[in-house]
Amino acid sequence: MLPEPYDLLPTTARQSHTIAAGDVLFRQGARTLGLYVLITGRVHLERVGPNGERLIIHRATSGTSFAEASVFSERYHCDAIVMDAGELVRIDKSAVLAAFANPDFARAYGRHAAQQVQAHRQIMGIVGIRRAEDRVMAGIVAGLLDGTVVDFAARLQLTHEATYRALRALVEAGRVTNPSRGTYRLA
Amino acid sequence: MLPEPYDLLPTTARQSHTIAAGDVLFRQGARTLGLYVLITGRVHLERVGPNGERLIIHRATSGTSFAEASVFSERYHCDAIVMDAGELVRIDKSAVLAAFANPDFARAYGRHAAQQVQAHRQIMGIVGIRRAEDRVMAGIVAGLLDGTVVDFAARLQLTHEATYRALRALVEAGRVTNPSRGTYRLA
DNA sequence: GGCAGCATATGATTGAAATCATATTCCAGA
DNA sequence: TCTGGAATATGATTTCAATCATATGCTGCC
């Protein structure tokens, strides 16, 4: 099933596609068709600077949507390139725009978007903390350590080595417990 | 005037307030009244962790809104504390929820939120670049160097010293020009 | 006009995270 | 059951951004 709020859209608005590494979903400047929900695989959004510099705007991961802003725009403003094969759903721009007439969808969309903005702001604040130990502690307090430590480290923009070391230091300082290999909790 | 999309709401939904440093707008766990648009001044959103750790979730600046997600929530999930005196507008939660029945508002809200998410994702990607020189270059390509270098440095989560040095290195490498003191452009 | 404060700018030193290396455990799949 | 890959974990070394320091230009304000 699709993640909120796109599950509220009529099935006619969706198109499933299998994707292979190297596929180009769209190019900067192309007319927008809609947004995408990545089911499995990996997709990079890249923008090419005026002098040919490639800048990765976003790395889409399983279960997340991307190119949401294309719904409100005539042209894509970046390239979407498949890194790992998988599956995705394209959601019609016009269907989304029409769905805003449905207050239930509109509110679900609003809630989802507001929460995402909130989450981003929080992570940005945490990533701004310089000391690895403080950053990791803040990440734990914020509840960001749900999956693997490797994922956690990536979210904190730290190497996993630095993250493991910080976790160890926090455990030794008694601020965090390490009940079992790979699991850490607030003391 | 209020920033989009809140300018579309009836004036009865707004309440202007002057705020003084140290004021508490709301506390974690308090019933939600609505979101805020900061006109002038500075406000910090902080969350207190289970063991009393204070974590700054967000630093709101002039002209931006905060606590948007409170519209969809019964309780505030962080504290809002005024750092510098100023002025703000509180926007009624119920008015926003009701306004989602208006497709124009809903779409404006959606567009605004989608663009914000996009912008956040881009900055997060850039901040993830380790080398200061590459990070600064990416920031310039992304068009983030519009105001002062000090602001630019803060957005990149770099010290301004490191940013100046990186700019200088980029100028020396011929990738960036420095037409006048304090202004930098892509070569 | 003079002073305070800030942005710009750069040099020297330090410290902490990245990098490189290696070992073990765990899990999925052939 | 064996095997390969990923996560966990930690040690050694290096690099590079933070920090500390200092100077100058610019602006607003009293």
Between CA B145 and CA B4 the distance in angstroms is 23
Residue type for B133, please? E
Nearest CA in chain B to A5: B110
User: Is the domain of A39 the same as that of A90?
Assistant: yes
Q: Is A21 on the interface with B (CB under 8 A)?
A: no
Residue A128 has pLDDT above 70, yes or no: yes
Note the CA–C1' distance, A140 to C11, in angstroms.
39
**Interchain contact, B101 vs A100, CB within 8 Å:** no
Residue B177 has pLDDT above 90, yes or no: yes
Domain for residue B115, yes or no?
Answer: no
User: Is the domain of B171 the same as that of B89?
Assistant: no
Q: Mark the nucleotides of strand D covered by protein, meaning any atom under 7 Å from a CB.
A: 6-12, 16-21, 25-26
- Least Cα distance to A163 among A125, A137, A124, A128 occurs for A137
Nucleotide lying nearest to B157, CA to C1' measure: D17
Nearest CA in chain A to B156: A128
Which whole number is the average pLDDT over B135-159?
Answer: 94
Between CA A126 and CA B124 the distance in angstroms is 11
**Mean per-residue pLDDT of chain A:** 92
User: Is the domain of B50 the same as that of B88?
Assistant: yes
Q: Is A175 on the interface with B (CB under 8 A)?
A: yes
DSSP reduced 3-state for B156: coil
User: Is the domain of A97 the same as that of A138?
Assistant: no
For position A27, which CATH number holds? 2.60.120.10
Domain for residue A20, yes or no?
Answer: yes
pLDDT of res. A56: 81
Domain for residue B117, yes or no?
Answer: no
Between CA B63 and CA B112 the distance in angstroms is 14
User: Is the domain of B140 the same as that of B66?
Assistant: no
User: Is the domain of A26 the same as that of A61?
Assistant: yes
Note the CA–C1' distance, B75 to D18, in angstroms.
39
For position A153, which CATH number holds? 1.10.10.10
- Least Cα distance to A53 among A83, A72, A78, A16 occurs for A78
The pLDDT tens digits for B90-143 are 999 999 999 999 999 999 999 999 999 999 999 998 999 999 999 999 999 999
Note the CA–C1' distance, B24 to D11, in angstroms.
48
User: Is the domain of B60 the same as that of B135?
Assistant: no
Q: Indicate the Cα dihedral angle B141, B142, B147, B149, nearest 10°.
A: -60
For B113-152, letters b (16+ CB in 10 Å) and e give bbebbbbbbbbbbbbebeebbebbbbbbbbebbeeebeeb
Between CA B169 and CA B157 the distance in angstroms is 18
Range of the domain at B18: 6-101
Residue type for A95, please? A
What percent of chain A is modeled with pLDDT above 90? 76
User: Is the domain of B94 the same as that of B133?
Assistant: no
Which whole number is the average pLDDT over A131-156?
Answer: 94
Nucleotide lying nearest to A162, CA to C1' measure: C17
- Strand segments (E) across chain A: 14-19, 24-26, 34-48, 54-60, 65-66, 79-92, 176-180, 183-186
User: Is the domain of A59 the same as that of A12?
Assistant: yes
Between CA B18 and CA B37 the distance in angstroms is 12
The pLDDT tens digits for A145-168 are 999 999 999 999 999 999 999 999
Q: Any idea what DSSP says for residue B76? A: -
Helix (H) or strand (E) holding B35: strand B34-48
Last residue of a domain, one of A101, A136, A161: A101
Domain for residue A58, yes or no?
Answer: yes
As for how many domains chain A has, the answer is 2
The pLDDT tens digits for B45-68 are 988 766 667 778 888 888 889 999
Between CA B66 and CA B122 the distance in angstroms is 20
Give yes or no for a contact between A68 and A32, defined as CB atoms under 8 angstroms apart: no
Q: Any idea what DSSP says for residue B75? A: B
Between CA A144 and CA B155 the distance in angstroms is 22
